[in-house]
Amino acid sequence: MSAYRLPTGGLIDRAQPLHFRFDGKAYQGYAGDTLASALLANGVRLMGRSFKYHRPRGVLSAGSEEPNALVELRSGAHREPNTRATVAELFEGLTATSQNRYPSLKYDILAINGLFSPFFTAGFYYKTFMWPASFWEKLYEPAIRRAAGLGRSAAVPDPDVYEKSTIFCDVLVIGGGVAGLEAARAASATGGRVILCDEGPLLGGQALNDGAEVDLSGLENVTLLTRTTVFGVYDGGTYGAVTRLTDHLPSANAPRQRMLRIIAPRSILAAGAIERPLIFGNNDLPGVMLAGAVRAYIHRYAVAPGRRALLALNHDDAAATITALAGAGIAIAGVIDARPASSNFVQSLAAQMGAPLFSGARILRALGRLEVSGAEVLQRDGATLNLPCDLIAMSGGCNPTLHLTSHLDGKPVWDERIASFIPGKLPPGMQAIGACAGERINRNILPVWSSGRAGGKEFVDFQNDVTAADITLAEQEGFVAVEHLKRYTTLGMATDQGKTANVNAIALMAAASGQSIPQAGTTRFRPPYTPVALGALAGGHRGQQFKPRRLTPTHAWAAAQGATFIETGLWLRAQYFPRPGEDWQEATRREVHAVRNAVGICDVTTLGKIDIQGPGAVAFLEFVYSNGWANLAVGRARYGLMLREDGFVMDDGTCARLGETHFVMTTTTANAAKVMQHLEFCHQILRPELDVCCISVTDQWAQIAIAGPESRHVLEKLVDAPFDISNAAFPYMEAASLSVCDGTSARLFRLSFSGELAYELAVPARFGDALASRLMQAGAEFGITPYGTEALGVLRIEKGHPAGPELNGQTTAHDLGMAKLLSGKKDFIGRALAARPALTGPDRSTLVGLTPLDGATLLRAGSHLLKPGVPATAANDEGFITSASYSPTLGHPIALALLANGPARLGEHIRVYDPVRNGDTLAQVVAPVFYDPSGSRLHA
Amino acid sequence: MKYSGLAVLREALRGHTGWKPAWRDATPAPEYDVVIIGGGGHGLATAFYLARHHHVGRIAVVEKSWLGSGSIGRNTTIIRSNYLLPGNIPFYELSMKLWEGLEQEVNYNAMVSQRGVYNIFHSDAQRDAYARRGNAMRLHGVDAQLLDRATLRAKIPYLDYENARFPIQGALLQARGGTVRHDAVAWGYARAADRLGVDIIQNCEVTGITRQNGSVTGIETTRGFIGAKKLGLAVAGASSLVASMAGLRLPIESHALQAFVTEALKPLIDNVITFGAGHFYISQSDKGGLVFGGDLDGYNSYAARGNLPTIEDVCEGGMALMPMIGRARLVRHWGGIMDMTMDGSPIIDKTPVENLYLNAGWCYGGFKATPASGFCFAHLIAQNTTHEVAGAYRLDRFAEGRLIDEKGVGAQPNLH
Amino acid sequence: MRITCPHCGQRGLEEFLYHGDATPQRPSDGGATPTVEWTDYVYLRDNKNFAHEELWYHSAGCHAWLRVTRDLSTHEIQDVRQA
């Protein structure tokens, strides 16, 4: 039996001893213990060091509000800093390490900060460390950063797995204490779907701590989620919660935590109340505890938190501690009741248990170095008295746990009757009951906010080391508003978010500034209620699962060909198809040559495909494209330019007319979803009178480009008779529905991105893979070559086609040399604002081509353009390169660029300036179409 | 009293009885030569630079709540001047230079920490876009480096280089970028302005803007009428609401942006890092909390808070970029209201109402702009002409089409 | 936040994309010249607090554009209809 373990009682399982280590030393506890209760049972009271002064700290509470007993739990990659020992369930083999101390918990060098504490008052750092300026980063800040912070992150990837779930109910009950259980029972009886969440492993709440029976009947149809903290209230009856699935186990092949989005039109908050400390000197010494925590350790964990106790209170609720102490065989050195006339209740309990009662008295300060050894008590008659003890149980009353009520717009309101804030305006659908509504707490309370400075630091915010004196100083310096106070002193900003501190602090500020408490302000809380691991909030979305991966219909085929893939938005596309020994450049050059001289195929499924049907289709296209569509014949396709309403270019693509009222539009890969949304907007909002329907068919059709002078010969072998794809019958920009490969329905478009004779053939997506194989077979005799996005990019730059880098949302039709595509005869999206002079002026940067003067130096996209010989300054900046590559066809590097007044400058020399990559070379300005400017190859 | 190590020492020895309020809690005078509406960073900086560099007579800052209660105390504290477009770079670079001398100028330690801002890129196209930006910065005399993957990895080893959905290829680094303790900026400017005689009037909400013959004469407030010969608006998320009191409609929507902080940890992240394949950026405060943020929630809002989808999205981005933060715990998240313009860039300009000046549209880049915003707005109010580095921030640029659209997303505020 | 789509029922925020104020009306003059009506339509917003009529797109659902009335100070949704 451990030194402080009570021989009987408690909710621990004495048949299940558990072994654990704290700071390397081995201990034993039982199933049902927390790390804190097990340490207390072993007589360990020093568990941590405070943030600023590195003062020795023990356990203040027995719950999630704990500010002091923070440890690093587990080790290695599983190390979890700042874990509250009071809620860490004990498991076999648990290891924990104290934090924020060096070299050891008992002898912490930085405890010297306590000696210098007269300098380290609230906000001292704002007043100094200013000279010389450069010393901040070099000297002061690193020292401050090292001293600050609490636990150490493992600094390696989190090895655990997390998951998420969305669940629905009619009523969500938050808090599994007696009030919550009763509410859940009642709600369930009406037949609704009820979810009850409690942060602890056991239901019963405060009853567990008081040793009372818990009635769990009538909950058969309630979804009971223990170890589940509802951490936030969000709009529309949405609650954020996290369930700790395996944190209480030594190890598990299962997710560590699950984040829940709980959708509940109604909720019942039954979160109880949190006790507040009394303010007196050295009230942070190990051995000074909240009275309710003392009862919890005795009743729930069968631990005597001390041998000789002092109980300080100012209301009746805490008097139950007298019985608890006596029952545990702990001597009571005194009951210090701040009320001049103690209630009969306290008087009779004290008398019954033989505890000396000091009415109208208060503790001035606790005595002791690493733990409590006594207290200096100011008696009603003004005399002081030293009472030896090793435990001080204190209660300044309770604060309703109303945090969730203020997550939306609710402002807690002061209730003078119980000297506490109670919930104000509640989130829609929420009801608060029990202690968190201020019911049956703080009976006969006489609020006491300060001991009156009798020496020793009087802590208000234990974790952040904010003292009563800091609050006075903040008031003196004008930081009176509650938010100023918090920000200036860091009060309430620690891991516990001021759960035990905020109300005391507001009361002290009210006193210092001569205001009432409601005048001084209120306390509002931000989510989360208790800290939530980022891993849980991210769930499974990390690593390769960060975003979905879209694969093209030919992905498996391309992989079999040895393709290297590249991320294109969510898509993975074949980047190039290296042969043995080839690097990416060699492969790309070979692929480009194949397209220019024979034939290549490339999966272009990723381009957005939108099916547009209806009698209003032509009028609709006229509206969304800047160029004209009225005269496009059935069976023909056309290039289309789409603007935003502000007149800038949004997207481009082709659109083919497959029938009188049937079109199929393509968009760029990047803008597929955006264009779909835009079309629906244009139709549903702007032109609802048009009888037209749009639907995305991107995923329904596999589309493969067959490009190169031999492409027709390849296709002839696939197209089913009697369809004729001769140049005469199926010329450039023709489109048709047909069948291929003996009866597979398909769509054929004679489009070219490469500038060669080329087609795009679409088949139902499930046939994409087979089509690629068939094309390869059919093209074998012509040297058919699969090509990837690298070659695709080179081919389009050679041809001067704008793509993503040119359609960057900052360019206009004028800039891209497409001003002639702005129809003057119709209303279209962007028409009016595209006509503004600023969008068409000659000073704008306009698309040109560049070739290096030396014929060899690679040009790089992102380089800026300057007149040769002028200083490299912003004033001389004339544009930049948008796209660049080596042209295998021309045998030298080429680039597309946006150059001020570009078309007027063909033939000029320009400096290509790329200081971030040490580039600086000269180029000649040329027309943007490097290859086959007459377009003869397209029509071949 | 001048703040210094010596002053702290002296006060420590006499029990800190000598500290005075950092600024006076002024009551409004009947009239001022210049009234600035908005006691946030921009308004206080404006008042400070007006008092410091211009002779404009009596100055007041009017704040509806407590000083610094808006975005100045809700942001993620990042400063940088790594912009792309010529309308922006000189302005933000002036701001950076003012940050570099701020503490000495206002005698308040705002902990300006030039720890370096890394923008991670994940594709060739993104690399080239950052090269374009870095080169533009260099042409403006701003520091910029393009780091390849190996160099980045040597500097920041803990990113997910091995298993990322969008592989990390490198970063654009602005070494002079960094962080500043946000509240201290408001307090520092407030204290310095107060010492120069500026009246800072808190808990004074403006309810009307009075005009005569098309010219501003003063403001109606919850503390009575205050006459103003010149009136400057620096009210960020409330810009449209206050401007409407003078009959103006603005190219602005108000949107909620969330920010996040974890429990304090020992030093872990030494720089500011932004993810290029999702919405996430992070730094670590001197106290040890990981401070991070992401994208707007995306809908108009005057409620300073957001919702779960954005919270999840931001944390997913964080875990994708640096999976070591999975066990760090979120301790608080909150929201602020951003004055999002139609091109994502701000406005510092006169208005059609005589003697009414507008400083607005900071989107979610307002914090880093604070010093230059105040400096240029003070210049505008005092001189009635635009400061050269803010010359592009005209109100009429929208109608004219001279937009400063860094992202190229057009007139859609929630996408900037 | 949850929006009750008239076609799909109540759905979470993550299914929707936001456009903005629903009240500006696109000029019907054909757009031959960039008049002030056009620039106001594209760039200026009332941006008032409280009840706000706005357009949402049910992108991960039925692709309907919805006209939602929402209180900007509380995010409370007061009305949803097909735009």
Whether A837 shows a pLDDT value over 70: the answer reads yes
Answer yes or no: CATH 3.40.50.10420 is held by domain A277-396.
no
pLDDT band at A696 (very low <50, low <70, confident <90, very high): very high
Residue type, B292: F
Nearest CA in chain A to C16: A677
Q: Which residues of A730-739 are buried (b: 16+ CB within 10 A; e: fewer)?
A: bebbbbbbbe
Please give the pLDDT value at position A115.
Answer: 82
In whole angstroms, give the CA distance from residue A574 to residue B333. 41
Is the Cβ–Cβ distance between A545 and A532 less than 8 Å?
Answer: no
> Dihedrals φ, ψ of B146, to 5°?
-105, 115
- Predicted confidence (pLDDT) per residue in A619-650, tens digit: 999 999 999 999 999 999 999 999 999 999 99
Strand order in the sheet with A171-174: A222-225, A194-197, A171-174, A266-269, A430-432
In whole angstroms, give the CA distance from residue A36 to residue A86. 5
Spans of chain C, pLDDT less than 70: none
A350: closest CA of chain C, how far (Å): 51
Name A242's bridge partners: A229, A259
Is A677's Cβ below 8 Å from some Cβ in B? no
Provide CB contacts within 8 A for B339, sequence distance 6+: B236, B237, B238, B239, B240, B252, B254, B360, B361, B362, B363, B366
Provide CB contacts within 8 A for A912, sequence distance 6+: A850, A852, A859, A863, A864, A865, A881, A895, A919, A920, A921, A922, A923
Backbone CA torsion sign across A59, A63, A68, A69: positive
If phi over 0 gives left and psi between -120 and 50 gives alpha, with beta otherwise, what is residue A545? alpha
Q: Which chains pack against A, by 3+ Cβ pairs within 8 A?
A: B, C
Mutation target to probe the C interface, by most C beta carbons within 10 A, among B241, B244, B301 is B301
C80: closest CA of chain B, how far (Å): 15
> Dihedrals φ, ψ of A877, to 5°?
-70, 125
Please give the pLDDT value at position A544.
Answer: 97
Is the Cβ–Cβ distance between B230 and B355 less than 8 Å?
Answer: yes
The percentage of residues in chain A with a pLDDT greater than 70, rounded to a whole number, is 100
Query: Quick check: C13 and A236 CB within 8 A?
Result: yes
Nearest CA in chain B to C22: B300
Contacts of B333 in chain A (CB under 8 A): 526-528
Give Cα separations from C83 to A81, C4, C16, C77 (angstroms). 51, 13, 14, 15
Interface confidence (ipTM) of the complex: 0.99
Whether A451 shows a pLDDT value over 80: the answer reads no
Is C45's Cβ below 8 Å from some Cβ in B? yes
B306: closest CA of chain C, how far (Å): 9
**A positions 163-182 inside 8 Å of B (CB):** 164
Is C35's Cβ below 8 Å from some Cβ in A? yes
A734-741 long-range contacts, Cβ below 8 Å, gap at least 24?
A734/A635, A734/A636, A734/A637, A735/A635, A735/A636, A735/A637, A735/A656, A735/A657, A735/A658, A735/A664, A736/A635, A736/A658, A737/A658, A740/A771, A741/A767, A741/A770, A741/A771, A741/A774
Domain A607-697, what architecture? 2-Layer Sandwich (3.30)
Domain A456-515, what architecture? Orthogonal Bundle (1.10)
Q: Which chains pack against B, by 3+ Cβ pairs within 8 A?
A: A, C
A576-579 long-range contacts, Cβ below 8 Å, gap at least 24?
A576/A787, A576/A788, A576/A789, A576/A790, A576/A791, A577/A785, A577/A786, A577/A787, A577/A788
Of B86, B107, B324, the CB nearest to A157: B324
In whole angstroms, give the CA distance from residue A312 to residue A293. 13
Is the Cβ–Cβ distance between A554 and A604 less than 8 Å?
Answer: no
Is C6's Cβ below 8 Å from some Cβ in A? no
pLDDT band at A345 (very low <50, low <70, confident <90, very high): very high
- Predicted confidence (pLDDT) per residue in A242-258, tens digit: 999 999 999 989 999 99
> Structural domains in chain B?
5-77+182-251+343-415 (3.50.50.60), 113-178+253-341 (3.30.9.10)
Contacts of B110 in chain A (CB under 8 A): 126
Please give the pLDDT value at position A134.
Answer: 83
A821: closest CA of chain C, how far (Å): 15
Q: Which residues of B50-59 are buried (b: 16+ CB within 10 A; e: fewer)?
A: bbbeeebebb
Is the Cβ–Cβ distance between C74 and A409 less than 8 Å?
Answer: yes
Query: Quick check: A680 and C35 CB within 8 A?
Result: no
DSSP reduced 3-state for B322: coil
Is A686's Cβ below 8 Å from some Cβ in B? no
B303: closest CA of chain C, how far (Å): 5
Query: Quick check: B412 and C20 CB within 8 A?
Result: yes
Strand order in the sheet with A600-603: A735-740, A744-749, A758-764, A701-707, A600-603, A785-786
C40: closest CA of chain B, how far (Å): 8
**A positions 568-607 inside 8 Å of B (CB):** none
Contacts of B241 in chain C (CB under 8 A): 47-49
Query: Quick check: C34 and A835 CB within 8 A?
Result: yes
Provide CB contacts within 8 A for B150, sequence distance 6+: none
Closest CA to B325 of A534, A68, A761: A534
Please give the pLDDT value at position A133.
Answer: 81
Q: Domain ranges for chain A, please list them.
A: 13-128, 160-274+397-443+523-546, 277-396, 456-515, 607-697, 842-940
If phi over 0 gives left and psi between -120 and 50 gives alpha, with beta otherwise, what is residue A645? alpha
Q: Domain ranges for chain C, please list them.
A: 2-24+35-82
Chain B with chain C: Cβ pairs closer than 8 A: 71
Please give the pLDDT value at position A377.
Answer: 96
Please give the pLDDT value at position A2.
Answer: 67
Query: Quick check: C13 and B414 CB within 8 A?
Result: no
CA A497 to chain centre: 19
In whole angstroms, give the CA distance from residue A801 to residue A803. 6
If phi over 0 gives left and psi between -120 and 50 gives alpha, with beta otherwise, what is residue A681? alpha
> In this structure, how many other beta carbons lie within 10 angstroms of the beta carbon of residue B173?
25
Query: Quick check: B253 and C1 CB within 8 A?
Result: no
Closest CA to B111 of A529, C24, A136, A927: A136
Query: Quick check: B303 and C73 CB within 8 A?
Result: yes
Of C34, C43, C52, the CB nearest to B411: C43
The counts of H helices and E strands in chain C are 1, 6
Identify the CATH homologous superfamily for domain A842-940: Aminomethyltransferase beta-barrel domains (2.40.30.110)
Q: Stretch A499-519: mean pLDDT, rounded?
A: 95
Nearest CA in chain C to A681: C65
Mean pLDDT of chain A: 96
Identify the CATH homologous superfamily for domain A160-274+397-443+523-546: FAD/NAD(P)-binding domain (3.50.50.60)
Contacts of C39 in chain B (CB under 8 A): 398-399
C51: closest CA of chain A, how far (Å): 16
Which tokens go with A709? 């002078």
Of A158, A534, A646, the CB nearest to B411: A646
> In this structure, how many other beta carbons lie within 10 angstroms of the beta carbon of residue B249?
14
A75: closest CA of chain B, how far (Å): 12
- Predicted confidence (pLDDT) per residue in A806-835, tens digit: 999 999 999 999 999 999 999 999 999 999
Spans of chain B, pLDDT less than 70: none
C82: closest CA of chain B, how far (Å): 18
pLDDT band at A452 (very low <50, low <70, confident <90, very high): confident
Is C39's Cβ below 8 Å from some Cβ in B? yes
C38: closest CA of chain A, how far (Å): 7
Closest CA to A487 of A464, A518, A515, A513: A464
In whole angstroms, give the CA distance from residue A148 to residue A54. 10
Contacts of B103 in chain A (CB under 8 A): 130, 133, 136
In whole angstroms, give the CA distance from residue C23 to residue A763. 43
> In this structure, how many other beta carbons lie within 10 angstroms of the beta carbon of residue A553?
24
Query: Quick check: C44 and B251 CB within 8 A?
Result: yes
Query: Quick check: B300 and C13 CB within 8 A?
Result: no
Roughly what angle, to the nearest 10 degrees, separates helices A584-597 and A789-799? 60
pTM beyond 0.95, yes or no: yes
Please give the pLDDT value at position B240.
Answer: 98
Q: Identical fold at A160-274+397-443+523-546 and A277-396?
A: yes
Whether A1 shows a pLDDT value over 80: the answer reads no
> Which numeric CATH code is attached to C2-24+35-82?
3.30.2270.10
In whole angstroms, give the CA distance from residue A141 to residue A146. 8
- Predicted confidence (pLDDT) per residue in A525-554, tens digit: 999 999 999 999 999 999 999 999 999 999
Which tokens go with A349? 């309990």
DSSP-assigned states of every residue in A352-420: HHT--EEET-EEEEEE-SSS--EEEEE-TTS-EEEEE-SEEEEE--EEE--GGGGTTT---EEETTTTE
Residue type, A18: L
If phi over 0 gives left and psi between -120 and 50 gives alpha, with beta otherwise, what is residue A23? left
Contacts of A686 in chain C (CB under 8 A): 26
Nearest CA in chain B to C38: B399
Contacts of C6 in chain A (CB under 8 A): none
> Which numeric CATH code is attached to A13-128?
3.10.20.440
In whole angstroms, give the CA distance from residue B262 to residue B322. 15
